[in-house]
């Protein structure tokens, strides 16, 4: 159907981003293609050390997945902070990622987890890394005629600490600033670090300099200060009802600090939840 209708059609997943866009006349598709009954786009499973999540899996299904709770709790922690229960019953992981909204939370979670996305078009299937998929506001690597079918995530190694720290004004709001982190320790120093930032630029931002400042060093107050400083330097927020740019930059530093501290605690004490 996408092939027949071309750019006059839009895919409809949970509708919780697309329908608001249509109400505002930012999107005016002639045709909606409902993905709701494609069973192959649903489900969560583990295959050879990789998690596969169908694009039409809802936030609520992520939250209640015992597989994700055990094998990838960062997704559960992140999904619980998205919107409100009504939205989470309809909104899908694939829709959240495909929409390309810098305010959406899954892009940062997926970058922190080294995820990749499976995209299918008439010409065939390709798999692209989450890091590099998000090009700008509402712009992604998805080509016209392509659909995201699933998400692949390498199961985090044992001892991987994680955290999604999100500042929002109230339940149901998008982030004022948020940071997704994974962190692993080895031999008394940081062996692996991923830091990705939500809603403080025109798309999700991976704070590469902040990661590099941590890797190979002990996790101490100095390293934490430096990582938070570099995350603030990496972001580029604009003023809106959630605050001015300076406030959002400061909150980016604070969310990075909190996410790293919690991830470190979890990495250092893996037996604790």
Q: Please identify which residue in 2, 5, 12, 243 interacts with ligand FAD, judged by CB under 6 A.
A: 12
Q: Please identify which residue in 134, 162, 164, 174 interacts with ligand FAD, judged by CB under 6 A.
A: 174
- Cβ contacts of residue 19 below 8 Å, gap of 6+? none
162 Cα distance to chain centroid: 13
Query: CA–CA separation, 91 vs 58, rounded Å?
Result: 5
Reference 117, options 195, 55, 197, 193; nearest CA is 55
User: Binding of ligand FAD at residue 207 (CB under 6 A)?
Assistant: no
Q: Where are the beta strands (DSSP E) in the chain?
A: 9-12, 31-34, 44-47, 50-54, 116-121, 124-129, 134-136, 139-140, 147-154, 161-167, 177-186, 189-198, 205-206
Q: Please identify which residue in 51, 75, 95, 192 interacts with ligand FAD, judged by CB under 6 A.
A: 95
User: Binding of ligand FAD at residue 104 (CB under 6 A)?
Assistant: yes
Using the minimum distance from each CB to ligand FAD, give the nearer residue, 140 or 256.
Answer: 140
Segment contacting ligand FAD by CB under 6 A, of 7-15, 207-215, 221-229, 256-264: 7-15
The binding track of 107-146 with respect to ligand FAD, each residue x by CB under 6 A or -, is -----------------------------------x----
| Inter-residue contact 16 to 87 (CB < 8 Å) | yes
CB atoms < 10 A from the CB of 240, how many?
12
| Inter-residue contact 127 to 152 (CB < 8 Å) | yes
Residue 227: DSSP 8-state: H
CB of 120 to ligand FAD, least distance (A): 9
| Inter-residue contact 213 to 189 (CB < 8 Å) | no
Count of residues that interact with ligand FAD, criterion CB under 6 A: 30
- Cβ contacts of residue 91 below 8 Å, gap of 6+? 13, 14, 16, 17, 58, 59, 82, 83
Q: Please identify which residue in 144, 172, 186, 216 interacts with ligand FAD, judged by CB under 6 A.
A: 172
Q: Please identify which residue in 14, 161, 237, 253 interacts with ligand FAD, judged by CB under 6 A.
A: 14
Query: CA–CA separation, 260 vs 244, rounded Å?
Result: 24
User: Binding of ligand FAD at residue 83 (CB under 6 A)?
Assistant: yes
User: Binding of ligand FAD at residue 105 (CB under 6 A)?
Assistant: yes
Using the minimum distance from each CB to ligand FAD, give the nearer residue, 12 or 233.
Answer: 12
Q: Please identify which residue in 2, 15, 69, 250 interacts with ligand FAD, judged by CB under 6 A.
A: 15
Q: Please identify which residue in 94, 102, 156, 161 interacts with ligand FAD, judged by CB under 6 A.
A: 94
CB of 244 to ligand FAD, least distance (A): 21
Site for ligand FAD in 35-54 (CB under 6 A): 35
Write out the residues near ligand FAD by the rule CB under 6 A: 10-18, 20, 35, 55, 82-83, 87, 91-92, 94-96, 98-99, 104-106, 142, 147-148, 172, 174
């Amino acid at each position: 159907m996408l092939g027949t209708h071309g750019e006059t059609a839009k895919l409809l997943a949970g509708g919780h981003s697309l329908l608001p866009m249509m109400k505002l006349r930012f999107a005016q598709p002639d045709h909606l293609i409902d993905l709701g009954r494609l069973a192959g786009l649903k489900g969560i499973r583990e295959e050879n050390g990789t998690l596969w999540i169908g694009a039409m899996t809802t936030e609520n299904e992520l939250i209640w997945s015992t597989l994700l709770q055990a094998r990838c709790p960062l997704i559960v922690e992140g999904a619980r902070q998205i919107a409100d229960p009504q939205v989470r019953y309809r909104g899908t992981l694939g829709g959240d990622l495909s929409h390309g909204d810098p305010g959406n939370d899954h892009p940062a979670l997926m970058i922190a987890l080294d995820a990749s996305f499976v995209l299918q078009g008439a010409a065939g299937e390709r798999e692209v890394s989450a890091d590099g998929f998000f090009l700008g506001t509402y712009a992604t690597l998805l080509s016209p005629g392509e659909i995201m079918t699933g998400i692949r995530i390498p199961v985090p190694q044992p001892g991987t600490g994680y955290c999604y720290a999100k500042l929002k004004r109230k339940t149901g709001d998008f982030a004022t600033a948020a940071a997704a982190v994974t962190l692993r320790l080895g031999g008394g120093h940081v062996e692996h670090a991923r830091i990705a930032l939500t809603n403080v630029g025109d798309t999700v931002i991976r704070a590469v300099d902040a990661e590099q400042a941590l890797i190979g060093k002990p996790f101490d107050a100095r390293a934490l200060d430096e990582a938070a400083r570099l995350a603030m330097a990496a972001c580029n927020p604009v003023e809106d009802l959630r605050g001015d740019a300076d406030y959002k930059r400061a909150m980016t530093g604070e969310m990075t600090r909190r996410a790293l501290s919690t991830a470190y605690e979890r990495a250092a004490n893996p037996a604790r939840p």
